[in-house]
Structure 1
Amino acid sequence: YSFPAWRRAPFIALLIIIFVIAYAPATTQGTATVRLSALISPSNISHLYISISSIQLHREGFLNWTTISQSFPVIDLLSPTSQSTPQTITSASVPSGRYDSMKIMFSNSTVLISGQIRPVAAPPALDANMTMLVAPNGNGDLLLIVAFDYATLFADTPSLSFILVSASTA
């Protein structure tokens, strides 16, 4: 016994709607804010400007990475004003969830030593294992504190690489 098409269509439409709701990923968004600060010691270096090309966040339980590509500000890691309030690298909309890892890719750097500006090759990517919860329509805030070897900045060809000291959420 077959039903007429007008009776089958609503049933099929209902099944499709249930299937889409059950298997579609959540599309809720939150905001991830990443701040960067450095441990500094007195030296002849008055400014260390770094540029960031992209940031990747890994969401727990997922295979792919969320890439934040935008116009990032140039950060002065040795600025006296950055010591009281760490500088914000980004505040971007990302899918909500628990993030467990981050990669920061740098494009170039400049150092000011005794009034002389010297270009520095882009440091290698900074990998951070951390936990940052981004609630739907909420905020995830991450503070990264890095250290670096001052001696490499005084070399004939200055270089820079960061060591992650701390990754904490607020």
Structure 2
Amino acid sequence: MKQRMQILNDIYRPVYEYLQSLLKALKELDYDYQWGFYNNHSMREDNQWFLEYYPIPVVTIKNICDIGIDMNRTFIEFKMKKEKAVLFHWEIISDYKFEVYGVEDYLSDFYNAALKLDDISEKISRSNEKEVGIEFEFSYLEDKSNLLNMVKKLESMGTYIL
């Protein structure tokens, strides 16, 4: 039993320490946030979906986005109204690794690395979705300044969560 606990501690310790430093930075920037450990995230790897049974920390920044700290990556998720997404200039974020998907049908991809950037707006327009989900993927324990810069961009874009 001790050995399994040590393995989990070795996995979660850097994640938790990173989380604490991220929360401190958000507090210093006066963001309103909540956080908790959540399980049952779906993650795609090599075009295959996996359910993560284990909990990961997720920070919800009120009215902007979620930041998730996963075991092999950090991600930022948020939503955008369909009308705004159809008119959005997707090329301005093309330097980032991101996905656009349905909110009602989260397995419905409007964009990912295997799809063309050109027709996101058309796909969204044809869908029955009222809003789309967008996720930026970053490296494991990404430099906090990169995440905070992205949060500021999202705040100016009028994204939201919940």
Q: Fold-level match, TM-score > 0.5?
A: no
Between structure 1 and structure 2, the one with the greater Rg is 1
More strand by share: 1
Higher helix share: 2
TM-score (norm 2): 0.26
